[in-house]
């Protein structure tokens, strides 16, 4: 009997801790959801932590208690939005590599912007405001952009190694140009959502990228050998 009581005494705190953690996660999600909506409407400067707490159904002070500062709240908001984009946009890209993977990623990235107006507009407002009124957010925004750009670069390199993409293409330069086109197209769509068919533009950009980068079928083995040779030279001390 004493052992049963001891076991019950151990289990109860564990359940309580799990319950507290779940409640905290749920309340944080509500705070970030409310922040997303308000930033999409007012921008980072216009959306105060107090307003976010009230909009989420909590006290005006809870966002500050949870996140410590407005900057940390905005960083968490970028993280959550990017996580959502990555899960929604790139979930179906598993197994797609090289040139096919590159064009699929371009289409998926652009198409994902239409899935949530609040998420897309809030994220881009944070991008823009990091250049002006919230410069402290700029390193986070730059890191996000770098991750997207490097993903494109790696697919280009992979396509070159497979002989699918021309060997004379500079992966870093091309990835920067492509990411600029993706981000610029989404920004343009945010200004003109009723006149720009983003999915159609996504297909057009993917197809033009394929035409621009694809190696001639007859040159593919030579292109792959050239890339491997160039990579081997760079690897030598």
Q: Boundaries of CATH 1.10.357.10 in the chain? A: 71-235
Residue-wise pLDDT for 61-94, tens only, equals 999 999 999 999 999 999 998 888 888 888 888 8
The separation between CA 134 and the C-alpha centre of its own chain, rounded to angstroms, equals 20
Whole-prediction pTM: 0.82
Structure tokens of 177? 């140009």
In the CATH scheme, what is the code of domain 1-68? 1.10.10
Contacts 24+ apart (CB under 8 A), 147-153: 148/109, 148/179, 148/182, 149/175, 149/176, 149/179, 150/175, 151/105, 152/102, 152/105, 152/178, 152/179
Q: What is the pLDDT of residue 234?
A: 54
Q: What is the pLDDT of residues 102-158, one digit of tens each?
A: 999 999 999 999 999 999 999 999 999 999 999 999 999 999 999 999 999 999 999
Residues of the chain with CATH 1.10.10: 1-68
Q: Is the pLDDT of residue 201 over 70?
A: yes
pLDDT in tens, 37-65: 999 999 999 999 999 999 999 999 999 99
The CATH number assigned to the domain with range 71-235 reads 1.10.357.10
């Amino acid at each position: 009997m004493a052992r049963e009581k001891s076991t019950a005494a151990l289990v109860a705190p564990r359940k309580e801790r799990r319950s507290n953690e779940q409640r905290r996660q749920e309340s944080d999600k509500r705070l970030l959801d409310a922040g997303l909506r308000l930033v999409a409407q007012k921008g980072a400067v216009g959306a105060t932590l107090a307003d976010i707490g009230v909009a989420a159904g909590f006290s005006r002070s809870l966002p500050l208690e949870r996140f410590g500062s407005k900057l940390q709240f905005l960083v968490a908001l970028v993280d959550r939005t990017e996580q959502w984009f990555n899960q929604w946009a790139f979930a179906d890209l598993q197994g797609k590599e090289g040139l096919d993977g590159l064009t699929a990623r371009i289409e998926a990235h652009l198409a994902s912007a239409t899935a949530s107006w609040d998420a897309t507009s809030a994220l881009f407002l944070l991008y823009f405001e990091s250049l002006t009124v919230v410069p402290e957010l700029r390193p986070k925004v730059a890191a996000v952009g770098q991750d997207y750009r490097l993903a494109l670069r790696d697919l280009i390199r992979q396509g070159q190694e497979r002989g699918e993409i021309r060997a004379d293409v500079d992966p870093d330069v091309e990835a920067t140009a492509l990411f600029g086109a993706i981000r610029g197209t989404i920004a343009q769509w945010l200004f003109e959502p009723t006149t720009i068919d983003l999915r159609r533009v996504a297909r057009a950009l993917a197809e033009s990228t394929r035409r621009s980068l694809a190696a001639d079928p007859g040159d593919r083995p030579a292109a792959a050998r050239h890339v491997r040779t160039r990579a081997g030279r760079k690897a030598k001390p």
